[in-house]
């Protein structure tokens, strides 16, 4: 497999995994928030959404530094 193809496959897999990692917790957080029986479920919903935002920002920052997907020049 060519290096370019490998890179495209890794990028697509990475993107799908992170989209799932973003969509599923947000959906769970909204569901917990909307149908909350008590304050703890509301807390879990908001905490899940906040965690998703922080993890996404962290990954974007790491990606901008070239430290994800095995980039050779990670010292940019």
Q: Helices 39-64 and 3-34 sit at what angle, rounded to 10 degrees?
A: 160
The pLDDT of 1-25, averaged and rounded, is: 78
Instruction: Give the count of domains, the chain.
Output: 1
Say if 71 falls within a structural domain.
no
Residues 2 and 43: beta-carbon distance below 8 Å: no
The pLDDT of 51-71, averaged and rounded, is: 73
What pTM did the predictor assign? 0.42
pLDDT, residue 76, reads 47
Say if 23 falls within a structural domain.
yes
User: 17-33 burial by CB neighbour count: b if 16+ within 10 A, else e?
Assistant: ebeeebeebeeebeebb
Identify the domain containing residue 19 by its residue range: 3-64
pLDDT, residue 40, reads 65
Which of the four pLDDT bands, split at 50, 70 and 90, describes residue 42?
low
pLDDT, residue 71, reads 52
């Amino acid at each position: 497999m060519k290096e370019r193809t490998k890179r495209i496959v890794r990028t697509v897999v990475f993107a799908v995994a992170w989209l799932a990692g973003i969509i599923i917790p947000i959906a769970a957080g909204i569901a917990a928030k909307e149908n909350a029986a008590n304050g703890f479920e509301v807390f879990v919903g908001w905490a899940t959404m906040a965690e998703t935002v922080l993890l996404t920002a962290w990954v974007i920052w790491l990606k901008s530094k070239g430290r994800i997907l095995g980039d050779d020049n990670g010292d940019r």
